A = this chain, B = another copy of it.
């Protein structure tokens, strides 16, 4: 073998396998490649417009940031990036909480991190019954050993603070979890400060699910006195899923640090994570480096736009969607007082097969929206208006395409009135402050 041949290992060896050389021929004889390897074509994901409940479209700058070669998760250059991500997450959550980090998993991992760390065995945990994610919180709290009680409200309605007060008085929960933006119903929980004040009165910790609000809908963790909030990165932050925001205030960290029993998940134990994200920088687990690159750039976009301007954009653009589809003849499941701009729960008109319409939109127009599930299966369309997907052009395209999809089932809505109303709403300066 020539000296050059010495270097024909690894990456280069594969390229040479098509035109055999001495070195590859020898290798085949001594260690034959089995013929059983699957032959799979390269992934060719289709071009989609993502207007479902997440993921949302990703800005090209974020994709480009994620194509950078890796550095080690303990490299000083990576530690700097982590600090910057934390700083920008604090800005986005509107908090000064030191323990503001991306959890190494998708939104449900951040949710479980919040619940598993703050719920100790036999803690009474109050959760809402008005949507799927309240149920999931209940499930996680039970697995953490908590004693789960519920505050009732129908799917499609927010919690009533009076009901929450009654539940506090009856059950005396240690932890109160609620959903700021319920992705399953398109309901925004208003009056958050009233809810957190109840928790304070009763010396309970508050966990807020902000998966579908962070970065798109007004959220003020510190001003609203929220102890713990978690989110996903593939919703209003428009980042590929995999690094999920979590913030804990001192009160929450004190409870997590003073537990009598260890957190039931090693991976999500914040007392271990803090030694990685804190001053010590000691190894806990390998961070999802590429996802952190992406989140860094996605958060830079948030900072450039400004968080309040971003909330206003979501209200304005999703407001145009709402004005448009209402003018076309459709209606929203929740009342206007709890309308969630980032996730629009639109009632399915009589006689429409929602699943078929959703499939048609994806297959024929490349637009992803979603349907309802649980008690809302077949009854609502869930139309996301999140982050990069929240753009006027998308709203206009969606109104036209949805009218077309319903039309294939013989159901007519007034697409032209819808487009006109959407355009008017986008033009109206008043809408910016609506």
Contact = CB atoms under 8 A, between A and B. Distances in A.
A153 to B, nearest CB: 22
A69 interface: yes
A80 B208 CA distance: 35
Interface in A22-65: 23, 26-27, 30-34, 36-40, 42-43, 45-48, 50, 52, 54-55, 57-59, 63-65
A426 interface: yes
Interface residues of A, number: 128
Contact of A40 (B69, B87, B241, B433): B87
Given A40-B87, A317-B9, A362-B75, A27 B312 contact: yes
Contacts of A13: 305, 313
A267 interface: yes
Contact of A31 (B10, B39, B427, B433): B433
A107 interface: yes
A305 B114 CA distance: 43
A309 B33 contact: yes
B84 A40 contact: yes
Interface string A62-92: 0111111111110111100100100110010
A242 B55 CA distance: 17
A316 interface: yes
Interface in A374-418: 388, 390-394
Given A38-B91, A65-B42, A10 B391 contact: yes
A7 interface: yes
A309 to B, nearest CB: 5
In the A-B complex, the 9 residue pairs with the smallest Cβ-Cβ separation, listed nearest first, are: A33-B306, A10-B391, A240-B290, A242-B288, A108-B285, A264-B264, A37-B303, A9-B392, A31-B312
Given A6-B426, A66-B290, 14 more contacts: A6-B392, A9-B390, A23-B429, A43-B296, A45-B70, A45-B71, A54-B286, A66-B67, A70-B240, A104-B106, A104-B109, A144-B264, A241-B290, A264-B265
18 contacts: A1-B427, A9-B390, A10-B388, A11-B391, A27-B312, A38-B88, A39-B303, A40-B300, A43-B68, A43-B297, A45-B69, A45-B70, A55-B70, A55-B286, A72-B368, A116-B265, A290-B291, A290-B294
